[in-house]
Amino acid sequence: MDLRQFHLFIAVAEELSFTVAARRLEIAQPPVSRHIRDLETELGVPLFERNSSRVFLTDAGRSFLNEIRVVLQHVS
């Protein structure tokens, strides 16, 4: 787990779109998806619920978002 993954996670959580988050961060979409998938694997919980047209935060994702914002405030 690293700060880059945290920033990617926050962008996807705020945009609720992997594509829009990638555009916002000026990177390609596949690495965003890969980093989020790796983060979910490392944490052992899904952070997002995905369907063909939308992305939603899971309860774990909402909790993680709050925790990560606090962590990043202390790091900055």
- How sure is the predictor about 70, in pLDDT bands with cuts at 50, 70 and 90? very high
> CATH number, domain at 60?
1.10.10.10
Calculate the CA 43 to chain-centre distance.
Answer: 12
Average pLDDT score over residue span 12-25: 96
Residue 17's pLDDT is 95
Could you give the CA distance from residue 27 to residue 50 in angstroms, rounded to a whole number?
20
Pick the more confident residue, 46 or 73. 46
The number of domains in the chain is: 1
Could you give the CA distance from residue 76 to residue 54 in angstroms, rounded to a whole number?
31
Average pLDDT, the chain: 94
Q: What domain range includes position 34? A: 3-75
Confidence check: pLDDT of 76 > 80: no
